[in-house]
Chain A
Amino acid sequence: MLASIGQFLLILSFVVATVLMLVPMAGYFKNNDSMMRTARPLSYLLFAITLACFLILVSLFVMQDFSVTYVWQHSSLELPLRYRITATWGAHEGSVLMWVTVQALWIAAVAKYSRSLTLSQVSRVLSVLGIIATGFIAFVLFASNPFEITNPAPLDGRDLNPLLQDFGMIIHPPLLYFGYVGLSVAFALAVSALIGGQIDEKWIRWSRRWTNIAWAFLTIGIVLGSWWAYYELGWGGWWFWDPVENASFLPWLAGTALIHVQAVSERKNAFRGWTVLLAIIAFSLCVLGTFLVRSGSITSVHSFAADPFRGIFILVLLGIYAGGALTLYALRVNQLRSKDAINLESRETMLLANSVIFITSTFTILLGTLFPMIFEAFGKKISVGEPYFGLMFFLLMIPMAVLLPLGAQMKWHKDQFSAAVRQLMPHFFIAAALTVVTYWLVGGMNVRATAGVFGGLWIVSTSIAQVVKFPGKLNAGFVGMTVAHLGVGLFLFAMSMTEHKDIEKDVLLMPGQTTQVAGYDFTFNGVKQVKIENYQAQQGSILVSQNGQEIVELNPQKRFYPKQQQPMTEADIYPMVMRDIYVSMGEQITDDGGWAVRIYIKPMIRWMWFGALMMMAGAVIALFSKRSKRQEHQQVNQVMQERLEIS
């Protein structure tokens, strides 16, 4: 019954999204105000319907309605309530419904917080968002309907994939979707601007805020994904260059390029075409990522079940969105010609350099992700992994790290490289000296680690200098930038430590036996059987101590979920300020209770994630920039709204 209501609401939302896609846009072309005015109410209505639809699916899970195919496939009588709720978005159908709901939420938010735009602008932006929503709702409706019924209903369900029965999984996907979908606002603006053939500073400034929020969500979503992989997969790694991870990283990289270029184009009549193109690329990569994850085109540890029809469907959506936008771009971009001249020696140039570095990184990673597919098209199989990505990314991040402080140092409009370099010179030596100290403290580092540590210190040192130099400069834009850049420095430093100074040891431990790793004693006190909620586990007890002082008892588990017939390794981690102690269990090796135990010491891994969170915080702080409000006033008064009309 409830499922039928859900089904009905889904169809209704498709209708509403279609109307939103067509009517306000038609109103724009006919110059009909009343048609354009429907955009906002339609957006609110769309959100209300999709939210109801999503909540119905959640209730079906909570009530254990096994007559719904999607519910019995991903839940079971024994599944605890919290995971029944999260199972809603634990697999393909529900996660696309969540995507649609989040999309509708953003559309409603755009409708609400767009007072600074004219009616013609808002109606176009909302209509373009309507196109995106219509496509994805159609995808849910025709290719991944979560409300399908099984008759007769099974008595029990199949249970949720054990990997997903976890806190990180509860919040990681929604945050990531907020980020993906958020980039659709910048995309919609770009397309609307191309349709109208004009764009002004005010409009870019408006979209920059949305881009910032989306980018912040993407950042925290990726951090949570990394954290989840770290403790849940039991390999001790935090990033695997897996296609699915790359799928979330690509829009982040393109988004980084976009927010930096927007900083120029919101001030000046410059880089207009480039801003528009980057916005199109960033969102297209989100859709491409969806395709890669859900079409089965790529083999990955955590891709969704392959289904060619779904693959084709998303490919068609991608063709319509990105293909359509890029066609418009090809036709119209030359009308968005930038008028202001840019001095070579200025911050504008540096920001352009930033976007070039990041977009090059984007395409390098994209190429690596697609390379196995290119080869497969010729009937060969290869796999591209850490060696390629690690090296390429390292090489690309060198110019980023070197130029970042220079970019933050250079003044807008006109400055001199030589003066800026002279200002930064002392920090070069401070960073070099601290690198030597670090090298000595940790006892040797390889080339990549040394470069990473130096880069991190160089960025931190110069960023702190900026704060010291302008102590009273408390505008949100400046603070946000500095916090984010400090985060970059911290991330580089900590990541170099985590990656290159970690210790990994596989040992066979008999009960009572002690092994020493990095000055810590690990005493294995055997394994006992436990039964918790919907799984059984062999739980090890490992006492960690240092110089006879007990630190902590760790209880890694080897879990077995009977419903899914799947074993799982659950690591136990003791996080400390400077390092994590990470213990996971392999297999029982000998009959008298000897187990393979894997011990990791992960230096500074928390600092690495903290650095990423600082980048996110920077993007959020920058939202409160007063600058934009003041400038908006100026713009209204002055004739600064030089628009570029279609000739």
Chain B
Amino acid sequence: MKKALIALIPLAVFFSLIALLYINMGNHSEVLPSPLIGKPVPEFEHQTLYSKETLTQADFIGEPWLLNVFGSWCPSCQVEHPLVAALANTGKIKVVGLNWKDEEQDAKAWLQKWGDPYHEVLVDYEGDTAINLGVYGAPETFLIDAQGIIRYKIAGVLTSQIIRDELLPLIEEVSL
């Protein structure tokens, strides 16, 4: 009897593993809604890259804005950069960059090379705000409404499809 039970152990371990994998599969997704959606932007206080002003979340209240987390070290940021610029150029929304875990020199060189579409570039070299925002990899983009509430988040590269189908309709909604 005891032997029969021991022989069952591998099967039991295996099925708990399968259960874990199964539960996880539905769970893991890059469009997993951030728990921050519907919540206010976490408090922050950052210098800007060029003007060295110190800005806080309160300075952005009054109109909707898009927060784009990027770094000069991140190849995917470069991939989505033309789209971010195109979106900023439409004038439909104010785009703010969060320069994450970067070096000032590198960030400036990068923006010079690929263009600077940002209304402001906030500097987060320690990564504090990124942690509060639950950023787990650049690029990530947040849509924040005029009251400072996070309305939308996308982890990973923006595509024209995402912008067209998801982001632009939401931007129109929050701009009303």
Which residues of A pack against B, CB within 8 Å?
273, 277, 280-281, 284, 288, 291, 295-299, 306, 308, 311-312, 315, 318-319, 322-323, 326-327, 329-331, 333-334, 370, 373-374, 376-377, 379, 381, 565-567, 587-590, 596
Complex interface: chain B residues within 8 A of A297 (CB): 21, 24-25, 28
**Cross-chain contact of A322 among B8, B14, B134 (Cβ < 8 A):** B14
Complex interface: chain B residues within 8 A of A326 (CB): 10-11, 14
Would you give the shortest CB distance from A67 to chain B, in whole angstroms? 24
A376 touches B24 (CB 8 A): yes
A315 touches B21 (CB 8 A): yes
Q: A291-B21, A318-B18, A588-B109 are in contact. Are A277 and B10 (CB under 8 A)?
A: yes
Interface string of B62-88 (1 = CB under 8 A from A): 000000000010010011000000000
Q: Name B's interface SS.
A: helix
30 A-B pairs in the complex with CB atoms less than 8 angstroms apart: A273-B7, A277-B10, A281-B10, A295-B21, A296-B28, A297-B21, A298-B28, A299-B137, A306-B29, A308-B25, A315-B18, A315-B25, A323-B11, A323-B14, A323-B15, A326-B11, A327-B11, A334-B3, A370-B17, A373-B28, A374-B20, A376-B24, A376-B27, A376-B28, A377-B23, A377-B27, A379-B35, A587-B110, A588-B109, A590-B109
Interface footprint category on B: 20 to 34
Measured in the bound complex, the distance between the Cα atoms of B16 and A323 in whole Å is: 11
Complex interface: chain A residues within 8 A of B161 (CB): none
Complex interface: chain B residues within 8 A of A331 (CB): 7
Would you give the shortest CB distance from A187 to chain B, in whole angstroms? 14
Tell me, yes or no, whether B91 is within 8 Å of chain A by CB: no
Q: A323-B15, A329-B7, A334-B3 are in contact. Are A589 and B20 (CB under 8 A)?
A: no
Tell me, yes or no, whether B90 is within 8 Å of chain A by CB: no
A334 touches B7 (CB 8 A): yes
Q: A330-B7, A587-B72 are in contact. Are A295 and B18 (CB under 8 A)?
A: no
Which residues of B pack against A, CB within 8 Å?
3-4, 7-8, 10-11, 14-15, 17-18, 20-29, 35, 72, 75, 78-79, 105-106, 109-110, 113, 134, 136-137
B25 touches A587 (CB 8 A): no
A381 touches B136 (CB 8 A): yes
Complex interface: chain A residues within 8 A of B75 (CB): 566-567
Measured in the bound complex, the distance between the Cα atoms of B12 and A323 in whole Å is: 9
B21 touches A373 (CB 8 A): yes
A330 touches B8 (CB 8 A): yes
B79 touches A566 (CB 8 A): yes
Measured in the bound complex, the distance between the Cα atoms of B24 and A291 in whole Å is: 12
Closest to A281 in B: B10
